[in-house]
Structure 1
Amino acid sequence: MRRRPDFRKCCVAGLALVLCGVSGAGMAQDASGSHRGGTLKLVASGSAGTLDPQINYSAQYIDLFANVYDGLTGFRKVRGKGGNDVVADLAEALPVPRDGGRTWVFTLRQGVRFSNGREVTVADVVASMRRLFRVGSPTAGAFYSAIAGADLCMKEAARCTLERGVVADTERRTVTFHLMQPDNEFLQKLAFIHASILPAETPDHDVGNVPATGTGPYRVVSYDPNGGMKLERNPWFRLWSEDAQPDGYADHIDYSFGLPDESAVTAVENGQYDWMYDQLPLDRLGELGSRFTAQTHVSPHPVAYFAPLNVNIPPFSEEKARQAVNYAMGRRAMVIFYGGTALARPLCDMIPSAIEGHTDACPYSRDADADHPAARWEAPDLERARQLVRESGTAGQKVTVVVANGSVDLAMGNYMRNTLEEIGYKASVRPLSPGVMFPYIQNSSNHVQISLKSWAADYPSPSNFLDALLGCENFHPGSDSSINMPGFCDRTIQAIMDRAKSDVSLSPEQTLALWRQADELVMRRSPIAPVIEMNVVSLTSRRLGNFFYTNVYGLLFSKVWVQ
């Protein structure tokens, strides 16, 4: 695995950016509770859509929901590699799988209450798992299709019962999951936010702007997608596991929407807000590195930019046209747009270096191909790309690149447009607000040919980048929750991924070998063009302490305090 840059030393990035140190002030833990209280103020250029925790798939709200909802399992909320660990959350303990990994029995904790005061029951667990399919959760197929009865739920959501797959015993307070085949990542999938346990009476439809009731230390009390969101303490929350769901420091969280990224940087510098969600504009990085070093944080995270290529409509229904985009991708230029080599690196496959299974070998570099890949990405091969466009018969066709309207994404999108023009297409860019853009590019009815999207791991596994984004079960035509944005399905590749997910006889090394094989075959078919992998740069106010970033979540709001 490639070594990360050492941010303990000062590192010089593009445009003379200087960022010294991973964190600002306030890294020490506070065990005394002296920092409890106050209002944490967050800002973003826009909202991220629905408040439904089983539907929303934006990093912006997933990180927020981690402080509002709980599943049977959760990820340990600590820094470093320990944050990858799964721990018991609403369950008393992690169960030992039975029947060769096909049966999992969870015992529900006693005394945990929703924010409306009602105690959580096993009936809520059963209803929540069933609801995943009834509301069309974007990960229902990718994460939970192994549950017995899920096949019917995927075909006819209204008839979904999971009566054979999720069985409750009220007297013993147990919930038993029966799987059709073993799932090596089942505990991680139950820890993901879409498996949040909600009250059984939660409607079986997208709750939209009405917050669902949760069990975490905070609850949403108001939401205006055009203005902002307010959260306050859940009065019924009592700490049951510091690892799974720590108590919050701030009494209130105010989240404002509608401030452009340039203005948000200035507002956080001035202390009007404590943290901004949006990508920091490239032209402000030098200023932050020189004048606001203590407030600027560089955090490693398994996250990447990629370009989904719609395999079902021209021009990228032609494999050679898709390969042309991979050859033409100016990955070094994209690194510069993101902030330079201290913050980003070219990515030539679908497994980032933060995830086991990554390889630096690159078939889409100058003077390389699938049979003779380069040791690493060196430069684009525009002549090869032009040749492939001509051979595909798609030269001269119109192509629209859909991107988010932030300054970094828009700069990348304009560069992609210019590149597409260079290799033979008539290209244009369509910028959309981030909250609109993600569901828009997922819906095949919008006929998006190519787009640019960043993607962070739901949990650290190659499956999050291969099966989640390119699995056959994750393409849902006409749906805003179709995370297989290219509409790609290769049964041979799918069989390899399915074995990697379910064969409990394999060693970890053998499992990784299968993921590498799937990755290699995916890149030959080119339904997607990897662009860069990057670290995350965050700006906070002077009054924010205990900056807390994990491998799974972005800023963990319950762990930071305000002076």
Structure 2
Amino acid sequence: MRQPSVSARRVAAVSVSLVVAAGAVACGPKDDDAKSTGGDSRPHKGGTLNVLNAQPQQDFDPARLYTSGGGNVPSLVFRTLTTRNRENGAAGAEVVPDLATDTGRPGKDATVWTYTLKEGLKYEDGTPITSADVKYGIERSFAPELSGGAPYLRDWLVGAAGYQGPYKDKKGLAAIETPDARTIVFHLNKPEGEFPYLATQTQFTPVPKAKDTGTRYEEHPVSSGPYKVVKNENDGEHLVLERNPHWSAATDAERKAYPDRIDVRSGLDSSVINQRLSASQGPDAAAVTTDTNLGPAELAKVSGDKALAARVGAGHFGYTNYLAFNPKVKPFDDIKVRQAVAYAIDRSSVVNAAGGSALAEPATTFLPNQKSFGHTPYDLFPAGTSGDPAKARELLKQAGHPDGITVTLTHSNSKDFETSPEIATAVQDALKKAGITVRLQGLEKNDYSDKTQNVKTEPGLFLAHWGADWPSGGPFLAPIFDGRQIVADGANFNSGQLDDTSVNDEIDAINKLTDLGAAAARWGALDKKIGQQALTVPLFHPVYKRLYGKDVKNIVISDWTGVLDISQVAVK
């Protein structure tokens, strides 16, 4: 797990469903299978979809991608064992089969997971995709020169901790077995009921060993999806995808693949992207963005134009912005002081600083307010919409600070709104009413990360944010509150340095559950239990508002990514 790139908006992960249809080959979906767009026409095959992004689509190699980094673009080329359900809203937070026939079959208390590949799967050159290719794709993600992907497999697979990849260790990982060309078996160190979610990560992309070119593989990765790479300039600055003629729609119910061509241009200024999408002239009429939100001023302009407002996609992604405490730094070693800060927070002013209610929703729970995370509503320190300074002063008095306290709030100087000076100032103003004088310490982005993610330098109070690698409470709560994930020498995200045996044991117990609904309920209850320790103050959950061109049809926005799914769109 890692904290998401703010500018990329941590657009997460990957997910599929359907029965196998052997051997069929198709270049795109049939028009009569298309979803209705709600307009006077249905989506059709053909045309070019243009993608305008701020962040380059760098390291286009399934071993190096952290799935969030490229929005939806990687899933057009890289298929995985499982993927996200490509539906609107909450239904899109479900994990479904992709290359596999199901989401996995657990054994031995979820320490063994078995998958069977669908029949008729082929690469862009027409050769069959095998279980050995999936195994090899995973193994090469361990190579130091291909680092960058999600770290879970190193921790979860038996004997994988010291593995250095197939270039140095020809034996491979014994924890992954391939008894035949369509079967793959994973042996885990401990029960992991959410392994089907992990199998959506790009490391589970099959890679034919004979075509592996190491660090140059990103220049022309072999496609298992509906599109293949025909151009990759300046490490993803300009990426062009065209149809993979051997992709079979019969084995892929999720990706609609309507356009003939996808043209991705990155490194653009965010304001320019929104201007071009707004004007929607020429090729920009058939354009979308996977990483650029509308800002408050832009949103106000768009909202006043009915035609433009109709071209705004709104979505929610599992993401929380919060105040983090380090209880090892005075006065935050006293829970009453932490509670006082929680009561003093004026969430309405924080939301306004984050762009207003159209772009941010007030939060009183650490888990995002979505069913898949197990969200359980609670407000342990009710401050109303504008704070309760009287209650905060009372708690400070009980803590031995009748005249108030002076503290330092560390934040980033970056204009990304989550940890920005504007958010910090809103917190400062609210706490002042409760007798808490806040000195602001603004740091440049790298310095901010280095300071707040190091247990030796972590400040007592700072702005933080977290997004999940998949829509579940597990990758949300464990990295922040599991005591065994405290990192003494490296990037540490357990800011409260909580090491509570009852919390750790409950995390282990939930991880054994393969009933994801039952697990979600337990994650929600655990969130509330941890919240009683006042180690964080949830502030808000972001809302994503993004423009798309006037010729873009079939808009699907799921609660897995929170943004338009380009595997579903069609263009005129």
Shorter-chain-normalised TM-score: which range?
A: 0.7 to 0.9
Q: Is the 8 A contact 2:418 2:465 kept in 1?
A: no
Mapped pair 1:429 → 2:446: no
Q: Secondary structure at the match of 2:105?
A: coil
Structure-1 residue corresponding to 2:544: 536
Q: Mean Cα displacement is larger for which, 334-343 or 540-549? A: 334-343
Deviations 1:271-291, CA, capped at 9 Å, x for gaps: 264334223211222221121
How far apart, CA to CA, are the structure 1 residues paired with 2:159 and 2:168?
Answer: 13
Q: Is the 8 A contact 2:52 2:273 kept in 1?
A: no
Structure-2 residue corresponding to 1:352: 368
Structure-2 residue corresponding to 1:364: 381
Structure-1 residue corresponding to 2:509: 499
Equivalent residue letter for 1:149: G
What's the offset of the Cα at 1:190? 1.0
- 1:171-190 map, 5 Å: 171-190=180-199
- The 1:94–1:346 alpha-carbon spacing in structure 2 relative to 1, beyond 3 Å, is closer
Structure-2 residue corresponding to 1:282: 296
Equivalent residue letter for 1:514: R
How far apart, CA to CA, are the structure 2 residues paired with 1:528 and 1:200?
Answer: 46
Structure-2 residue corresponding to 1:9: none
- The 1:538–1:160 alpha-carbon spacing in structure 2 relative to 1, beyond 3 Å, is farther
Structure-1 residue corresponding to 2:100: 91
Equivalent residue letter for 1:176: V
What's the offset of the Cα at 1:125? 1.9
Equivalent residue letter for 2:265: Y
Structure-2 residue corresponding to 1:306: 322
- The 1:33–1:440 alpha-carbon spacing in structure 2 relative to 1, beyond 3 Å, is farther
2:569 to 541, 551, 560: 560
What's the offset of the Cα at 1:494? 1.8
Q: Secondary structure at the match of 2:371?
A: coil
Q: Scaled by the length of structure 2, what TM-score is found?
A: 0.74
Deviations 1:468-487, CA, capped at 9 Å, x for gaps: 4444455555656x665666
How far apart, CA to CA, are the structure 1 residues paired with 2:547 and 2:72?
Answer: 16
Mapped pair 1:548 → 2:559: no
Structure 2, gaps ≥5 residues long:
1-35
- 1:61-460 map, 5 Å: 61-115=70-124, 119-133=128-142, 139-141=150-152, 145-150=155-160, 163-169=173-179, 171-200=180-209, 213-220=222-229, 221-224=231-234, 228-233=237-242, 235=244, 237-240=246-249, 241-261=251-271, 263-271=272-280, 273=284, 274-276=287-289, 277-291=291-305, 292-309=308-325, 323=339, 325-341=341-357, 344-355=360-371, 357-366=374-383, 379-381=387-389, 382-383=392-393, 396=406, 398-402=408-412, 404-406=414-416, 410=420, 411-416=422-427, 418=429, 423-430=436-443, 432=445, 444=454, 447=457, 449=459, 452=463, 455-460=466-471
Equivalent residue letter for 1:284: E
How far apart, CA to CA, are the structure 2 residues paired with 1:107 and 1:204?
Answer: 27
Q: Secondary structure at the match of 1:358?
A: coil
Q: Secondary structure at the match of 2:92?
A: helix
Q: Is the 8 A contact 1:549 1:556 kept in 2?
A: yes
Q: Is the 8 A contact 1:344 1:534 kept in 2?
A: yes
What's the offset of the Cα at 1:161? 7.3
Q: Is the 8 A contact 1:90 1:109 kept in 2?
A: yes
How far apart, CA to CA, are the structure 1 residues paired with 2:453 and 2:150?
Answer: 15
What's the offset of the Cα at 1:148? 2.7
Deviations 1:139-176, CA, capped at 9 Å, x for gaps: 434x774433345669xx9889774421112x443111
- The 1:140–1:405 alpha-carbon spacing in structure 2 relative to 1, beyond 3 Å, is same
How far apart, CA to CA, are the structure 2 residues paired with 1:438 and 1:555?
Answer: 31
What's the offset of the Cα at 1:300? 4.3
Deviations 1:330-386, CA, capped at 9 Å, x for gaps: 3222223345445543211212221353233212333xxxxxxxxx77625453686
How far apart, CA to CA, are the structure 1 residues paired with 2:479 and 2:502?
Answer: 16
What's the offset of the Cα at 1:446? 10
Q: Secondary structure at the match of 1:168?
A: strand
How far apart, CA to CA, are the structure 1 residues paired with 2:530 and 2:412?
Answer: 22
- The 1:403–1:258 alpha-carbon spacing in structure 2 relative to 1, beyond 3 Å, is farther
What's the offset of the Cα at 1:86? 2.7
Equivalent residue letter for 1:124: D
Mapped pair 1:463 → 2:471: no
Equivalent residue letter for 2:199: L
Deviations 1:503-540, CA, capped at 9 Å, x for gaps: 46x8955x455323421332234443321124322212
- The 1:513–1:558 alpha-carbon spacing in structure 2 relative to 1, beyond 3 Å, is closer
Structure-2 residue corresponding to 1:373: none
How far apart, CA to CA, are the structure 2 residues paired with 1:161 and 1:380?
Answer: 62
What's the offset of the Cα at 1:181? 3.7
Q: What is the RMSD of the two structures over their aligned residues, measured on CA atoms?
A: 4.4
- The 1:192–1:201 alpha-carbon spacing in structure 2 relative to 1, beyond 3 Å, is same
Structure-2 residue corresponding to 1:369: none
Equivalent residue letter for 2:536: I
How far apart, CA to CA, are the structure 2 residues paired with 1:202 and 1:417?
Answer: 56
Q: Is the 8 A contact 2:44 2:571 kept in 1?
A: no
How far apart, CA to CA, are the structure 2 residues paired with 1:387 and 1:468?
Answer: 34
Equivalent residue letter for 2:264: D
Q: Mean Cα displacement is larger for which, 276-285 or 159-168? A: 159-168
- The 1:179–1:419 alpha-carbon spacing in structure 2 relative to 1, beyond 3 Å, is same
- The 1:115–1:524 alpha-carbon spacing in structure 2 relative to 1, beyond 3 Å, is farther
Q: Secondary structure at the match of 2:503?
A: helix
What's the offset of the Cα at 1:178? 2.3
What's the offset of the Cα at 1:205? 9.0
How far apart, CA to CA, are the structure 2 residues paired with 1:159 and 1:383?
Answer: 61
How far apart, CA to CA, are the structure 1 residues paired with 2:399 and 2:223?
Answer: 51
What's the offset of the Cα at 1:108? 2.6
Q: Secondary structure at the match of 1:464?
A: helix
Structure 1, gaps ≥5 residues long:
1-24, 367-375
Q: Mean Cα displacement is larger for which, 393-402 or 460-469? A: 393-402
Deviations 1:217-267, CA, capped at 9 Å, x for gaps: 334532547x93323125355124332443252502223224144x43322
Structure-1 residue corresponding to 2:18: none
Equivalent residue letter for 1:96: R
Q: Is the 8 A contact 1:417 1:428 kept in 2?
A: no
